[in-house]
Structure 1
Amino acid sequence: MGAALLAGCGGGGGDSPPVTPPTTPPTTPPTTTFGLALREVASGLEAPLLLTAPASDTRRFIVERAGRVRILSPDGSVRATPFLDLSGLISTTGEGGLLSLAFHPGYATNGRFYIYYTDKFSNIAIDEVRVSADANVADANSLKRIVTIQHPTYTNHYGGSLAFGPDGYLYAGTGDGGGAGDPDNNAQNLDSLLGKLLRLNVDNPLPPLYTVPADNPFAGQDGKRGEIWGYGLRNPWRFAFDVAGGALYIADVGQDQREEVNVVSTTQKAANYGWDVMEGTRCYNSATCNQQGLTLPAFEYEHGAANANGCSITGGYVYRGTALPELAGHYLYSDYCKGFLKSFRYANGAVSDAKDWAVASVGNVPAFGQDAAGELYVLSAAGKVYQIVRK
C-alpha cells in the first residue's frame, strides 16, 4: 500500500517557489531515564485504521478499512465475530473504505455510535448505528444516514476522522475532494462541505437526524453551509481533542513539501487553516500570498529530498493516560512512509520538547489509537496493533 492510499500523500503540484525552512525546533532524543517502546497487542487484522473505545469500557474496537469493526477483548484476544461488518456497503477504491468510528458520549445507555466511510458511489457517508442486544455485536440493520457528501471525480482526499468534542457535538474532518492543488477550489468555498471541519448536533430524534448548532459560525447564512466549524483543510486524515489541555489538534496531510499540525482552542470556530493558499507556513505555488485571517500551523516538517523526513503525517493524540506520567501533555504523531514515533508539547502558543523516541519502525503507520483509559496505540498497515509502553 502506498502512502496515497490511506493518507492522501502528494499528488504532484508542479513547479514550486523556493522553500523556506520551517521554524519548528528539531527533535531530540529522549532522556536516558525514560524511553518508549511498542508492544504488540494484536495481529492478523486487515488494514486497521483506528482503535477506540466507549467511555469506561475495557474493550478496544478496531476499524478495518474493508468495512469491519473488530473487538480486542480485555484478555488480549481479537473476537472472531466482528462487532460490525458492512463490507458489502463500502467502497475501498482509491483512499476509500470504512475510515472512522466515534462512540456517542452516552453510549453506555443509548447504544449509539457513528461511522465515516465511502459508499458504493464514492460519496462520503456518515451513519448512525446502534448496538444490538448482544453488547459485542452491532445491529447492522439499524443504520441511519446522517450526512451524505458527494465526492465526484477523484478517489483521494476523503478525510476520515470523527470525534465527539467536549461540547457533546460530533465533529467530522473532510478532505478537499482530491486531485493535486484542490482543482475544484473546495477548501476555501464556504458553500462546500469538502476540505472542512464540520460540527453537528446528532441528538435529534426525528429526521433530519442532525441539526446545525446555533453557534456554528455560518449557521443561517446564505451561500454558506451551517455545518462548517473550520475550513481551508487539504486532507485532515486524523484530528483529536485534548480536553485536559483545552485544545484541538488537526494533522493535515501536505501536498509536495510540508506536513502540518494545527493546534487551536476547542472553542475556536471559523478558523481558516490556509489550504490552498498555504501549504504549512509556505505560500502554495506563489512567491507571496495574502495570509491575513489565516490560522497557520503550530508545527510542521518538510518532506526533504526523496522524502527523507516523511511524506504523509499520521496524527495521533495528546497523552493523558496514567501508565506513563512522564509523557503527559505530549502530542504523538508518525508518518505513513517513515513509521517513526515522535512527539511535542504545545502550550501558550509555542511548541517545545520535541522528541524522537527512536522506536523501531513498524512499517507504514496509517493511524494511532486511544483506549478508554487514555493509553495510546500505533497501528501498522501490516495488520498489527502496538501499545505504547515504557521501555
Structure 2
Amino acid sequence: MGSAPIMTVFVSLLLLCSSSLPQPARSLPVCTDMRAPVVLNVTLKFCRDDGGASCCDAAADAALEAQFKAIDVKPADGECARVVKSILCSKCNLFSADLFDMGSMPRTVPLLCSSFSARDSSQPEHQIYNNEDYCGQVWKHCKNTVMSNSPFQTSAPRKGGLSGSSSMLTDFWQSEKDFCVSLSGIPNSQLVCFNGHGVSFNTRKNSSPAPNGICLEKIGNGTYLNMVAHPDGSSKAFFSRQDGKIWLATVPEQGRGDGLQLDETIPFLDLSTEGHLGSDLGLEAVAFHPDFINNGRFFVSYICDGTQSSNCAGRCSCDREVGCDPSKLGSDNDVVPCRYQLLISEYSAKGSSSSFSEATYADPSEVRRVFSMGLPYVPNHAGQILFGPSDGYLYILTGNGGIRGDPFNFSLNEKSLLGKILRIDIDELPEMNEVGNKSLWGNYAIPKDNPNTDNSNLRPEIWALGLENPWRCSFDSLRPFHLYCADDGQEQYKVVDLISKGGNYGWSGVYEDQHVQYPPWAVQGTKLTNGTIFPIMGYKVPSTTKSASIVGGYVYRGSADPCLYGRYLFADMYSSAMWTGTVNTDVSCKYTSASIPLSCSEKTPLPCEGSTNSPLGRIFSFGEDNKQDGFILASQGVYRIVQPSLCGYACLTDATSKQAATSVSGGNQGLTTVMKVLIAVASVLIAGASIYFAWRCFCNNSSICCNDIETIQVTNNTTTRGDGPSATATKPGDVELAVTTRPAEHRAR
C-alpha cells in the first residue's frame, strides 16, 4: 500500500522526461459527396456557420433553404421547424458522411442520438451518447406536425399512399421508441450521431485504452507482397508475389497452433512470363470483383518489359499533352523512357456460376486489357488496385514517375495520370466515341460522379492528385468512405493521407521545402498550393538514415486486441518500426500517432527468427482477412496480430481492468509473512532507484532516458518543436524515426 504513491510520482516524472508527445495533425473528414470540407470565405445564410470549414458552400446552402421551404413546416418559427432546419443543415457538418451512413444506403435524415440501443425492441434500453436523446426531442416537437415531402418518409416502415403528400410522424410510427429505433440505426455499432447542434461520438466505438505493444504470431515462412481476403467471406485468402504468382491459402483459426495452408507448387495463377522479375517491378496487386463468387472476375496490376514481350505495349505517359518529350528524358540506368508499362488485366477463375467460391485455379488467358501506361522512369510507379467497398469502382494508385523533384509537375498536372489516385468503371464498356473523345488509356468507362467529368480539358479518371509514390491504401471496413493512403515522400517526410474526392495532396515540394535545380528543357508548371490537404500522420526520417520507406496498413477492426481497435497501422519498410494512429473523439478532427513495439507470441506456430533491431526483417505490406484480423507481410514471413497477453502486454478494457483490480486486491492472500516483507523491501528499493533516475533525467537532462527527446506542439497547419522563441517549424504529421543506418539501397516502388 505504501509504495503506490511513490510509484505514482515515479511514473509522472518519467512521463515528463521520456514521452515524445503524440503528434496531432489537422484531419479533414469526408462529406456526403466524398469531398473534403471547404474553408468558407462567406457566411452561409441558411445554415449559419462559425466561419470555419463546412461541407456546404453557398449553392448547397441555398438548396437546403429551398428544401426547407418546400417541406412547409408550420408555424415556421415553431419548435418543429427549428428541429427540421437543424436536421437539414446537418449535411453541412464536417462528419456528414458518418452521420448519413454513406457506407451503406445513403440516408435523408442523419443518425440521431437516441436512448434506444437497437432495432430489436426486445433489447434493453440504455443511453450511450453522453446521455443525449435528441431523437426524443424530434418526436416530441414534430410527431403531430404536418409536413410536405417529409425527409423522414424514406426511413418509414410503411409508406402506402403517403409518399410525396403531407404527413405527420404518427402516420408512420406508433411511438417514440418505434421512431427512434428506426432513425438512430444501431447506436452500439455507429461511430457518431447528431445531437441537434453537432456531432456526438460513441465512446464505446471510438475510444479504447492505448496499446503498449503489438503481439504477433508467425503463421508462414513465405515472402509475399499482397494478401486479399477471399470474397466469399470464408477463412481463405489470396497471396501474391512480384514474380507473377498468386496462391490460394487457408488462414488457420487463432489459438489452434496451425500455420498457413499454402502450397507454393500449386499457384492459383502464374503470370511469371508476363511481368518483369525485378526487385521493384513485377506483379504489384490483385483485386477481386465485388461479385466474384457469381462471375469469377478478378484483376491484376503488374509491370511488364516492352523489350521482352510484344504484348507489353501502350502509350507513354510522357507526351505532348503534359509538356513532356520522351526523347529529352535520357535513360534511367540504361532504361529508355516508357520501356516498362503499368498494365491492369482482367482474368477469370475456373469454375461455374455456382462454384466460383470453390475455384482453386484461374484461366491464364487474359480476358481484357483494362489499362496500360508507359512509365517515364523505373521507380515511383506504385501500382496498387482495389475496389471501393461502397461504389464498386476500381481505384488505381500511380506514382509520379520517378525523377527527382517532379520537374514536369506530373503529380499536380490534371492532364497527367501520374502521381494520382484514379477511379474507373470496369463493368460498363465505353462507347467508341467516348474512347476517342476522352482519349482513354484502356477498356473502361468513367464514373459519372468523378470530379473532372464536366471538364474535357482534364483527365476524367482522376479521383485525387498531388501524390509522390503511394504505397498501400486501404478502406476502413467500418467507415468505407474513409480511404487511407501512405505516401512515400522523396526526402525526410513519410506521410499518411485521408483521401477525398478531388483532393490535392500537394506533391511536390509542399512538405519537403525542396530547392530543386530543374533542367532547362523541363516545362515546370506552377506549383498549386491553394486548397492543399495536409497529411494526418507520418514520420520524419533522420538525416543519418540512408533507407526509409513508408508502408500503409489498415484501420484495425479485429477482435484479438481491443486496444488496437479503431487505430490505423503503418510501418517503415527497412527498420520494421511501426506506428498506430487514431482520430480524437471530439470535433477537433485531429489524429495522433505513436510508435509501438512488436513482440512474438510465446505460442507462435512457427518460430520468429528476426534480429533484435528488425524482428520481422523488411515489412512489405499489411493484410486483412474476413474477420478483420490484421496481418504483416515481411521478408521473414507472414505474421498475424494476436491477443496482447500472449506477449506479456496488458490491454485494460473495462472488463479486464475490473478483473485485474480483483486480482491485485487479492494477490497477497496466502503469501507467508517473510514473502510479504521481501516483496515490500524490493518494491521500496525499485521505487527508490526509479525516482533517482527520473530525478536525474528531469533535472539534469541525463542521457539515461532524456536523450533527443523533443516536445511537439501543433498550431493549425504548422508544427513547432520546442517551447521557446527559438523553436523550429516543421510540417504537420512529423514523428521522428529512430532507426539504425541502413545500406544505401531503396526499393524503387
TM score, norm. by length of structure 1: 0.84
- 1:36, CA displacement in angstroms? 2.0
Q: Which residue of 2 aligns with 1:78?
A: 262
In structure 1, distance between residues paired with 2:397 and 2:382: 6
Q: Which residue of 2 aligns with 1:248?
A: 483
- 1:331, CA displacement in angstroms? 0.3
1:121-174 per-position Cα deviation (integer Å, ceiling 9, x unaligned): 21111111111126110111144110111112x110111221111211111110
Sort the Cα spacing of 1:350 and 1:31 in 2 relative to 1 into closer, same or farther, 3 A.
Answer: closer
1:82-128 per-position Cα deviation (integer Å, ceiling 9, x unaligned): 01110000013462110111111111111111111111221111111
Sort the Cα spacing of 1:355 and 1:311 in 2 relative to 1 into closer, same or farther, 3 A.
Answer: closer
Q: Which has the higher contact order (CA 8 A, sep 6+)?
A: 1
Sort the Cα spacing of 1:240 and 1:64 in 2 relative to 1 into closer, same or farther, 3 A.
Answer: same
In structure 2, distance between residues paired with 1:83 and 1:344: 35
The answer on 1:221 being equivalent to 2:455 is yes
Question: Residue 246 of structure 2 contacts residue 270 of structure 2 at CA under 8 Å; is this kept in 1?
Answer: yes
Question: Residue 211 of structure 2 contacts residue 563 of structure 2 at CA under 8 Å; is this kept in 1?
Answer: no
Aligned residue among 361, 378, 397 for 1:155: 378
Sort the Cα spacing of 1:220 and 1:354 in 2 relative to 1 into closer, same or farther, 3 A.
Answer: same
Q: Which residue of 2 aligns with 1:372?
A: 626
Sort the Cα spacing of 1:247 and 1:33 in 2 relative to 1 into closer, same or farther, 3 A.
Answer: closer
1:332-364 per-position Cα deviation (integer Å, ceiling 9, x unaligned): 011011112321112552113634134363111
Aligned residue among 189, 206, 219 for 1:41: 219
In structure 1, distance between residues paired with 2:422 and 2:210: 42
The answer on 1:295 being equivalent to 2:533 is yes
Q: As a proportion of its length, which structure holds more helix?
A: 2
- 1:311, CA displacement in angstroms? 1.3
RMSD between aligned alpha carbons?
2.6
Sort the Cα spacing of 1:276 and 1:34 in 2 relative to 1 into closer, same or farther, 3 A.
Answer: closer
Aligned residue among 523, 535, 543 for 1:305: 543
The answer on 1:319 being equivalent to 2:556 is yes
Matched position secondary structure for 1:327: coil
- 1:284, CA displacement in angstroms? 3.2
Question: Residue 212 of structure 2 contacts residue 597 of structure 2 at CA under 8 Å; is this kept in 1?
Answer: no
In structure 2, distance between residues paired with 1:92 and 1:278: 34
TM score, norm. by length of structure 2: 0.45
Question: Residue 25 of structure 1 contacts residue 352 of structure 1 at CA under 8 Å; is this kept in 2?
Answer: yes
- 1:381, CA displacement in angstroms? 2.5
Which letter does structure 2 place at the counterpart of 1:136? T
In structure 2, distance between residues paired with 1:162 and 1:212: 16
The answer on 1:356 being equivalent to 2:593 is no
Moved more, 208-217 or 224-233: 208-217
Q: Which residue of 1 aligns with 2:167?
A: none
Sort the Cα spacing of 1:315 and 1:22 in 2 relative to 1 into closer, same or farther, 3 A.
Answer: farther
Which letter does structure 2 place at the counterpart of 1:214? K
Q: Which residue of 2 aligns with 1:24?
A: 23
In structure 1, distance between residues paired with 2:228 and 2:235: 11
Percent of matched pairs sharing the same residue: 33
Which letter does structure 2 place at the counterpart of 1:160? G
Matched position secondary structure for 2:293: helix
Q: Which residue of 2 aligns with 1:92?
A: 277
Matched position secondary structure for 2:566: coil
In structure 2, distance between residues paired with 1:183 and 1:222: 25
- 1:32, CA displacement in angstroms? 9.4
In structure 2, distance between residues paired with 1:182 and 1:160: 18
Moved more, 125-134 or 107-116: 125-134
Q: Which residue of 2 aligns with 1:141?
A: 365
Question: Residue 240 of structure 1 contacts residue 249 of structure 1 at CA under 8 Å; is this kept in 2?
Answer: yes
Extract unaligned runs of 5+ from structure 1.
1-20
In structure 2, distance between residues paired with 1:272 and 1:205: 29
Question: Residue 160 of structure 1 contacts residue 238 of structure 1 at CA under 8 Å; is this kept in 2?
Answer: no
Matched position secondary structure for 1:108: helix
Matched position secondary structure for 2:544: helix
Instruction: Tell me the number of residue pairs that the alignment of Structure 1 and Structure 2 aligns.
Output: 356
In structure 1, distance between residues paired with 2:295 and 2:387: 15
Q: As a proportion of its length, which structure holds more strand?
A: 1
- 1:285, CA displacement in angstroms? 2.8
In structure 2, distance between residues paired with 1:218 and 1:323: 42
Question: Residue 412 of structure 2 contacts residue 528 of structure 2 at CA under 8 Å; is this kept in 1?
Answer: no
1:256-300 per-position Cα deviation (integer Å, ceiling 9, x unaligned): 111000114xxx211111001313xx43338xx863211110112
Sort the Cα spacing of 1:222 and 1:61 in 2 relative to 1 into closer, same or farther, 3 A.
Answer: same
- 1:222, CA displacement in angstroms? 2.5
Sort the Cα spacing of 1:110 and 1:78 in 2 relative to 1 into closer, same or farther, 3 A.
Answer: same
Matched position secondary structure for 1:223: coil
For residues 154-303 of structure 1, the aligned pairs below 5 Å read 154-165=377-388, 166-204=390-428, 209-245=443-479, 246-264=481-499, 268-279=500-511, 282-285=512-515, 291-303=529-541
1:222-277 per-position Cα deviation (integer Å, ceiling 9, x unaligned): 3311000001111001111114234111100011111000114xxx2111110013
Which letter does structure 2 place at the counterpart of 1:278? V
1:149-202 per-position Cα deviation (integer Å, ceiling 9, x unaligned): 1112x1101112211112111111100111211233211111111110000111
Q: Which residue of 1 aligns with 2:229?
A: 53
Extract unaligned runs of 5+ from structure 2.
1-19, 26-207, 253-259, 307-339, 352-357, 432-441, 517-526, 600-611, 645-749
In structure 2, distance between residues paired with 1:104 and 1:346: 31
Sort the Cα spacing of 1:313 and 1:74 in 2 relative to 1 into closer, same or farther, 3 A.
Answer: closer
- 1:43, CA displacement in angstroms? 1.3
In structure 1, distance between residues paired with 2:574 and 2:215: 19
Which letter does structure 1 place at the counterpart of 2:247? R
